[in-house]
Structure 1
Amino acid sequence: MDQEEHADLMACGRLRLASSCQIDFSVHHFLFFIVDSRQVLHARVMPNQPPSECVDKKESQPMAGRRVIRRQVLLLLGYYNVSLHGGIIRYAKEAGWALDDSYQRSGMTPVWWSGDGILSLITSPKDVRAWENFPAKLPMVDLSKGWIADSMPEEDRVSGQKRHRVYYDNAKIGEAAADHFLQRGFRHIAYLNVGNYWHETERIPVIRERVQAAGAAFHEIDFYHHFLRNAPNALQNRRRAQEWLTEIIRHLPKPLGIVLSSDDWANCVLQACEAADVAVPEEVGVLGCDNDPTVCHCTPVPLSSIDVNWDAIGYDAAALLDRLMNGEKIPMSPVLIPPNGVVTRMSTNILAVTDPRIAKALSYIWDHYAHPIGAEEVAREAGLNRRTLERGFRKHLNRSVWHEITRVRVEKAKSMLWVTTAKAHEIAEKCGFSGIVAFSKVFLRFTGMRPSEYRKTKNAAHLSTRRRAAEE
């Protein structure tokens, strides 16, 4: 850059040197890019601020006597995860890279970019088209298996393209999900299949096999084939999707553990459970995937989630790209990163107890609530004396054995009042109550309504929901 060009820039604002190509398109700032070989200079006008606020002195100090050439790496992440980005940044700092992450923030393909390598995560045809703007010979590593789903046109699939890939180990994720519920005594475990995406087609068989091998029942909730295919705009109409899920959840056997492909879908299921008056985690345990703190702590019930190890995926993918940029010949076989395990929160903590005998007692209550069981029988089945069992329930559930037995019976009765036309005395008998009088008194104590009042209230709400859906 000659003195005249430098003077022009200084007239507009102070000059900032940066080690990354982060682009700020703010209305109140102006960015100037001067490309000198493989160096990128950023000039940023920051009015009314002293130089100390505009320039990171440590970053902007030039190295005496020589010019540093940084490798330019582009991020094309169709799915953004802060831990993934953090892993990439960690390696980039060690290697001295300059990262361009403008695609994640602007959604626009940086067609002006020219550099040394690309890290991508293809999640849609849009990402495929962004990918195709750059030379095929450029070193690239993708952090997925490609954009593959039954719900997309054949021409948009990229599974056949040969790329170096680093992504999560779906078999290990499936095993972790199944074991999480099995170890907590769940005998019914479901998976919500939202589109036959590649990660789902790899996880579902593993979960099914592991669950059935343990003698439990596996249920696949096929959201795509039974709902989404017939309502293509359903994802834009979240209320309809949740109404469909609400009906499904009401009819599935309880207690039930549901595994989801993402934390966002787990949040959708939690809201459907809330709409169905299904207790989480007492009746339905919900397990997400990705362990995204921006979702897991903001759901109706704090969400348990599988930590797929995004940080390691990002770091290892960057390391692989570095080797490719160094000219190494590396086989195309994918690198699979195992998960860190399940981060347990309230949505599955009903059987997350240190004493397996308490878990066994809970499972026995759920399986035999319709019979005239009491605390003595439950203690005997769990291999405990009654006093120890009561202490365990107080410690882990903050309620007595009697309260848990009664709570389960009331929840089953609520479900029958909602989805069946059975008479109150029939429901009382099927839910383990000694008679209609006892049923009515206990139901009133737990819900604040008599069974007949509860049925009328819920039927009115149900008809209102169906009427709105029909009108739309």
Structure 2
Amino acid sequence: MQHRQEVALIIDPSSPYDRRIVRGVAAYVQQAQRDWSLYVEEDHIDRLPDLKAWGGDGILANFDDRRVAAAVTSLGVPVVGIGGGYGYYEENPQIPYVRTDNRAIARMGAQHLIDLGFRQFAFCSEPPTRANGWAKERAEAFCEAIEEAGYPCEHFAGKHSPAKEWRLSQAALQKWVAKLRTPIGIMACNDGRARHLLQACRFVGKRVPEDVAIVGVDNDDVMCELAQPPLSSVEQGAMRVGFEAAALLDDMMQGKKPAQQRTAIPPERVVARHSTDVMAVADEEVAEALRFIRQNACRPINVRDVLDMARMSRSTLDARFRTAIGRSIHAEIRRVQIESAERLLITTTMPIKEVVQRVGVSSVQYFTAMIRNATGKTPGEIRKAALR
């Protein structure tokens, strides 16, 4: 009979990102039917277990805190690092590491704002430190994606730490926001910085989302819903980080050599809330047609319905769509249907036949082809990846 294995999770329970990682670890334990005893301590440094007395079999540790990395790297048990990708790894090349894909996160946020019709963009970061290179990586990837789409992009980091010098940090942020040309779409490096940005917009009289649309990162649902207005945010895929890290640790505890040392997990989706609930299109008739599509694409509707609403010919409205957002009317209907389908596949266990009906597609076969063409994956593969 296999003995129960003791696994320590050295994480920060106050962090939404770390809590999602724990959920991913639990999902792996349940799916793989492992008999693990999970040790989770609220104080992730001062109460790090004495492994000689504890007799543990393996450790999953958030290496974004260098003190954690230093504490667990010489304990003589299998260790897998997890985190955002900075503050840890150069000194520990032998420890496998599962991290978020910061570049993919930034590109997802950029595409969300581009799809809303914005033509002016900015990234709001924070002063660089040795441990927050993830913020710099996101800023660079966001600006690259925006510039590849043919638009300019500003980048603000500031000189003062919001945690240590709040008044100076916020004053500088307000000064920057006041000078921005609007309408503008801004991505913040995380939800905390996005909330700072919301406060700065209120202080200088910029409306969100009408003047400034804001998207953060982490999807801390409680804090995002409490923000005024509620904050759109990128769901990083932290549960998948926890799942893959647990699978890797499981192999190591069984004496297997890690297949790879470094794994980047892509983000899941943008969870859209009121802070980006706007279509930044100067052509008011196109903007009205876009709102109609967003509200009705899954009923379903077709191009004729949009033309009837707009009271225009197809050639005229299609040309104005392409000028305003770079897509045809038909392509925009499909984009909204695909976005809705992915959300249902990822966040529910609804049968695929019902998802097909919910998004207004004629058949499972056509739905599968539509999703594969758009994402490179079948509906089943999208769901399987989200549930792992």
Deviation at 1:85, TM superposition (A): 1.4
Deviation at 1:215, TM superposition (A): 1.7
Using the alignment, how far apart are the partners of 2:263 and 2:280 within structure 1?
32
* Aligned: 1:74 with 2:8: yes
Which whole-Å CA distance do the structure 1 matches of 2:261 and 2:239 have between them? 21
In structure 2, which of residues 41, 45, 62 is the aligned counterpart of residue 102 of structure 1? 41
Answer yes or no: is 1:88 the counterpart of 2:64. Answer: no
CA distance in 1, matches of 2:203, 2:54: 48
- Aligned residues between the structures: 284
Q: Which amino acid aligns with 2:9?
A: L
**After the TM superposition, which residues 237-386 of structure 1 pair with which residues of structure 2 at under 5 Å, given as runs?**
237-351=165-279, 357-358=286-287, 383=316
Task: Report the alpha carbon displacement of residue 204 of structure 1 after superposing the two structures with TM.
Answer: 2.5
Q: 1:352 to 1:108 in 2, by over 3 A?
A: farther
How has the CA–CA distance of structure 1 residues 113 and 246 changed in structure 2, closer, same or farther, with 3 Å as cutoff? farther
**Larger radius of gyration between Structure 1 and Structure 2:** 1
Question: In the alignment, is the contact (CA less than 8 A) between 1:166 and 1:334 conserved in 2?
Answer: yes
Q: For 1:100, what is the secondary structure of its paired residue?
A: strand
Residue equivalent to 1:41: none
Aligned CA distance change for structure 1 residues 350 and 244 (closer, same or farther; 3 Å): same
Residue by residue over 1:136-155, the C-alpha shift from the partner in whole angstroms, topping out at 9 and shown as x without a partner, is x321111126543xxxxxxx
In structure 2, give the amino acid aligned to 1:287: V
Match of residue 450 from structure 1: none
Per-residue CA deviations over 1:421-453 (Å, capped at 9, x if unaligned) read xxxxxxxxxxxxxxxxxxxxxxxxxxxxxxxxx
The 1:340–1:240 alpha-carbon spacing in structure 2 relative to 1, beyond 3 Å, is: same
Q: Percent identity among equivalent residues? A: 28
If asked which structure has higher relative contact order (CA below 8 Å, sep 6+), I would say: 2
Q: Return the alpha-carbon distance in structure 1 between the equivalents of residues 11 and 197 of structure 2.
A: 26
1:64-95 deviation digits (Å, cap 9, x = unpaired): xx7x6211011111473332211112223431
Measured after TM superposition, the shift of residue 102 of structure 1 is 0.9
| Alpha-carbon distance change, 222 to 147 in structure 1, aligned in 2, over 3 angstroms | same
Q: Give the structure 2 partner of residue 6 of structure 1.
A: none
Residue 331 of structure 1, CA deviation: 4.0
Counterpart among 145, 160, 171 of residue 91 in structure 2: 160
Unaligned runs of 5+ in 1: 1-65, 149-156, 363-378, 386-472
Q: Cα offset for 1:168?
A: 1.5
Matched AA of 2:116: R
Deviations, residues 30-75 of structure 1 (Å, cap 9, x unaligned): xxxxxxxxxxxxxxxxxxxxxxxxxxxxxxxxxxxx7x62110111
In structure 2, C-alpha distance between the alignment counterparts of 1:267 and 1:186, rounded to whole Å: 21
Separation in 2 of the partners of 1:96 and 1:213? 49
Deviations 1:352-400 (A, max 9, x none): 89x99317999xxxxxxxxxxxxxxxx99x9559xxxxxxxxxxxxxxx
1:195 positional shift: 3.5
Which letter maps to 2:66? P
Change (3 A) 1:352 1:141: farther
**For 2:69, which of 117, 128, 137 is the aligned residue?**
128
Alpha-carbon distance change, 145 to 245 in structure 1, aligned in 2, over 3 angstroms: closer
CA distance 1:240–1:113, shift in 2 (3 Å): farther
- Where has structure 1 moved over 4 Å in runs of 4 or more? 103-107, 359-362, 382-385
| 1:351-430 mapped onto 2 (5 Å cutoff) | 351=279, 357-358=286-287, 383=316
Go from structure 1 to structure 2 and tell me whether the alpha carbon gap of 1:356 and 1:248 turns closer, same or farther (over 3 Å shift).
same
For residue 110 of structure 2, what is the aligned residue in structure 1? 178
Higher mean Cα deviation, 234-243 or 202-211? 234-243
How far apart, CA to CA, are the structure 2 residues paired with 1:122 and 1:212? 32
Residue 60 of structure 2 corresponds to 119
Letter paired with 1:185: G
Secondary structure of the structure 2 residue equivalent to 1:351: coil
Alpha-carbon distance in structure 1 between the residues aligned to 2:85 and 2:153: 28
Q: Alpha-carbon deviations, 1:169-218, whole Å to 9, x = none?
A: 22221210110111111112111221442322332232222211222111
Give the aligned CA root-mean-square deviation in angstroms: 3.0
CA 1:145–1:308: 2 relative to 1, 3 Å:
closer
Native 8 Å contact 2:85 2:134 kept in 1: no
Q: 1:291 to 1:351 in 2, by over 3 A?
A: same
8 Å Cα contact 2:236-2:267 kept in structure 1: yes
| TM-score under structure 2 length normalisation | 0.66
The residue that corresponds to 2:124 in the other structure is 192
SS of equivalent to 2:277: helix
In the alignment, structure 2 segments of 5+ residues that lack a partner are 292-311, 319-388
3-state SS, counterpart of residue 280 of structure 1 = coil
Letter in 2 for 1:216: Y
Secondary structure (helix, strand or coil) at the match of 2:83 reads coil
8 Å contact 2:11–2:44 — kept in the other structure? no
The answer (yes or no) to whether the contact 1:176–1:342 under 8 Å persists in 2 is: yes
User: Distance in 2 between the 1:306 and 1:187 partners?
Assistant: 20
- The verdict on how the C-alpha distance between 1:218 and 1:356 changes in structure 2, with shifts beyond 3 A counting, is farther
Distance apart, 1:289 and its partner CA: 0.5
- Secondary structure of 1:167's counterpart equals strand
TM-score normalised by L of structure 1? 0.55
Instruction: Check 1:143–1:185 CA distance in 2 against 1; reply closer, same or farther (3 A cut).
Output: same
Give the deviation of 1:108 after TM superposition: 2.5
Instruction: Please give the secondary structure, in 2, of the residue aligned with 1:297.
Output: helix
What do the CA deviations read for 1:124-146 (whole angstroms, capped 9, x no partner)?
333234335x51x3211111265
Which residue among 213, 228, 245 is the counterpart of 2:148? 213
Q: Distance in 2 between matches of 1:242 and 1:193?
A: 13
Shift of 1:255: 1.2
